[in-house]
Amino acid sequence: MTDLSVAAASPPEPSLQRLSPGHAGGEVARALLQVGFDDARYRQDYPDLAKLGPEVAAWHYHVAGRAEGRRAHFRLPWRVAEAKAQVLSLPAQEERLLRQDIALARLGEADVYGRDLEAFGELSRPHELWRPLVIVSDSHGQFYLAQEVLRRADLLPVPFLNTGASARGLMNPNSRGGHGSRILQMLEARGERLAHATVLFKFGQVDLEFVYDFQRIHSGQTAFDLAAASDFARESARRYAEFLRQARAATSARIVVSSALPPTLSDAALRQGVVNGHIAHLHAEADIEALAAGLARLDMPDQPTRTGLARTFNTTLQSACAELGLAFLDDFNPLLGPEGVIAPELIAWHGGSDHHIPWLCPDSRRAAGELALRIASL
């Protein structure tokens, strides 16, 4: 939004500085301020709101900003703010919204890699309004950090991301990133403190989109071989399943294993998108310049073929999860568009130039909320 206008069904616009006593939405706006809503930070973060007074900034967040995905911050600690929200005598739904706002603000401040133990503990504690959803994943797990996961499915994301981690490498105790050991240590250390939680695992795209091509460069296999690529995808899923067996033994939490997402890089952006410094450091033998030169020599598959390889990985993984007795979430097929590749609206923000789904765009947030409902039902 660039002004104070909202949808036709929304309350009429107040003055820029204050609300009239009976203004629709005013009670919740004042409640937001009572529980520590940081109106100054809200106006600072969004320059189009800079001229608003404190009450009107809080009102804007309630009637428009929340739905637009704008972030709120609170001056009070989570538990203090939430305790205040519970004694304000608000209608149940509005109290619930405020308590969600406060929790999501804490999520927005948390280290996505789970290194802030205090934040991790707060986000993962039992709560009467939601269930913690611990997201153990590579960077693609950020897709589930959207507020809609909590708003729609009563699941509060608790991030524990492992950027650049490959599914097949989780079983390797000597891997450069050490991600597998880190995950198992977290699960074992948390023990019964996660018994009430769901742990969502999401790995595989690093293998499919990076590691296989790095191995081709290293071995000099410039021609693309679909059979070999399919074997690699299946073997990656099988190795990942062996790690999941260990993870299951390490925790009493409910485990849900999710698919590798559909590839988002367009054919035009593929080579440049694979030149990722952090992932190359973890998985490639060459430096960035040599890696780029090696990629230029490779025969690269088109996006439908790459999408088919992700499906091969997911099919193998789903079968392995059935054998292990682990719940499996198909969040691959629901994100495909009419052409059989990633739905175009999900990557409209970058147009296929990045290997992530932009998780803050409205269509992605909506999709995350719908998939979270499936997670909650498993």
pLDDT per position as a tens digit, 161-206: 999 999 999 999 888 889 999 999 999 999 999 999 999 999 999 9
Question: Quick one: pLDDT at residue 358?
Answer: 94
pLDDT band at residue 217 under the 50/70/90 scheme: confident
- For residue 281, give every residue at least 6 positions away whose Cβ sits within 8 Å of its Cβ, in sequence order, or none: 164, 176
Mean pLDDT rounded to a whole number for the chain = 91
Please tell me the least confidently modeled range out of 69-78, 143-152, 215-224, 268-277: 268-277
Which region, left, alpha or beta, applies to residue 250 given φ > 0 means left and ψ of -120 to 50 means alpha? alpha
Question: What is the model's pLDDT at position 268?
Answer: 87
Tokens matching residue 327: 């719940």
The token pair that represents 6 in the structure block: 């909202």
Task: Give the integer Cα–Cα distance in Å for 42 and 46.
Answer: 6
At residue 135, the pLDDT reads 98
Structure token digits, residue 378: 């498993």
Helices in 159-265 by DSSP H: which ranges? 179-190, 205-206, 212-219, 226-250
**pLDDT category of residue 83 using cuts at 50, 70 and 90:** very high
Does residue 363 contact residue 356 with C-beta atoms inside 8 Å? no
The mean per-residue pLDDT over the stretch 356-377 comes to 96
Report residue 2's pLDDT band, with 50, 70 and 90 as the boundaries: very low
Distance separating alpha carbons of residues 61 and 46, to the nearest angstrom: 11
Residue reference for tokens 């568009």: 337
Contact criterion met (CB below 8 Å) for 318 and 245:
no
Q: Are 234 and 179 in contact (CB under 8 A)?
A: no
- Percentage of the chain with pLDDT > 70? 90
pLDDT mean over 69-75 = 96
Token readout for 346 is 């999900």
Per-residue pLDDT, averaged over 121-144, amounts to 97
User: Is pLDDT above 50 for 6?
Assistant: no
Rounded to whole angstroms, the maximal C-alpha distance in the chain is 73
The gap from C-alpha 363 to its chain's centroid, in whole angstroms, comes to 14
- Give the pLDDT mean for 312-341: 98
Mean pLDDT along residues 14-37? 80
Q: What is the pLDDT of residue 26?
A: 87
Using CA atoms, how far apart are residues 188 and 237, in angstroms rounded to an integer? 23
Nearby residues of 277 by Cβ (< 8 Å), 6 or more positions away: 288
Q: What's the CA gap between 143 and 120, in Å, rounded?
A: 18
Euclidean distance between CA atoms 375 and 122, whole angstroms: 21
Q: Which two tokens stand for residue 267?
A: 């054919």
Q: What is the mean pLDDT of residues 228-245?
A: 98
- In CATH terms, the fold of domain 110-377 is Rossmann fold (3.40.50)
What is the pLDDT at residue 291? 77
Phi, psi of 257 (to 5 degrees): -105, 130
- Count how many Cα atoms sit within 13 Å of the Cα of residue 33 in the half-sphere of its side chain: 16
3-state secondary structure at position 220:
coil
Residue 105, pLDDT > 70, answer yes
Beta bridge partners of 342: 336
Average pLDDT (294-317) is 95
- Three-class SS of residue 25? coil
Cβ proximity of 233 and 171 under 8 Å: no
The mean pLDDT of 124-140, rounded to a whole number, is: 97
Quick one: 50 exposed, middle or buried, by C-beta within 10 A (0-12, 13-18, 19+)?
Answer: exposed
- For residue 226, the tally of other CB atoms under 10 A from its CB is 12
The token duo for 215 is 């191995």
Element containing residue 26 per DSSP (H, E): helix 26-34
Q: How confident is the model over 134-160, as a mean pLDDT?
A: 97
- The residue ranges of DSSP E strands in 259-332, in sequence order, are 327-329
Q: Report how far residue 262's alpha carbon sits from residue 295's, in angstroms, rounded to the nearest whole number.
A: 21
Say yes or no to pLDDT of 283 above 70. Answer: no
- pLDDT number for residue 20: 59
pLDDT reading at 352 higher than 70: yes
Domain with CATH 3.40.50.1110 in the chain: 110-377
